[in-house]
Amino acid sequence: MKARIPNQGGNSQAQMMKKLQDMQAEMAKAQEEVEQAEYSASAGGGAVEVTVNGKHELLSVKLQPEVVDPEDVEMLGDMIIAAANEAIRKASEAMEQRMGSATSGLNLPAGLGF
């Protein structure tokens, strides 16, 4: 004989499974949207602009002509790195926000949300 725990019957399990499936679909959609979006950042007062996608792939680097100084290539490299890191940070932040909103209705324990 099986013991039944109140509010743990088949109907609530089915509801929880439905909720999980909906959340999984929402997370997949959100991930795809973030991965396809583009995130840009600049450095050196706009002298260098870098664009990445949500997969953290570098899409473009735009340089103002005055920033290209053969005597100071190291500074140009530093500006490119700074702009790329900021663009990647923006992409990561967008992913965290989207995943958090996708799991918000589940009442997950601390540490299990995104």
Enclosing H/E stretch for 109: none
Asked if the structure places residue 4 within a domain, the reply is no
User: What integer is the mean pLDDT of 82-89?
Assistant: 97
Asked if the structure places residue 2 within a domain, the reply is no
Asked if the structure places residue 29 within a domain, the reply is yes
Asked if the structure places residue 110 within a domain, the reply is no
- pLDDT-derived band at 100 (thresholds 50, 70, 90) equals confident
Total-model pTM: 0.74
Structural domain span for residue 25: 10-104
Q: Specify the CATH number for the domain of residue 88.
A: 3.30.1310.10
Under 8 Å between Cβ of 88 and 52: yes
- Count of structural domains within the chain: 1
Asked if the structure places residue 5 within a domain, the reply is no
3-state secondary structure of 76: helix
Q: Is the pLDDT of residue 108 over 90?
A: no
- pLDDT-derived band at 107 (thresholds 50, 70, 90) equals low
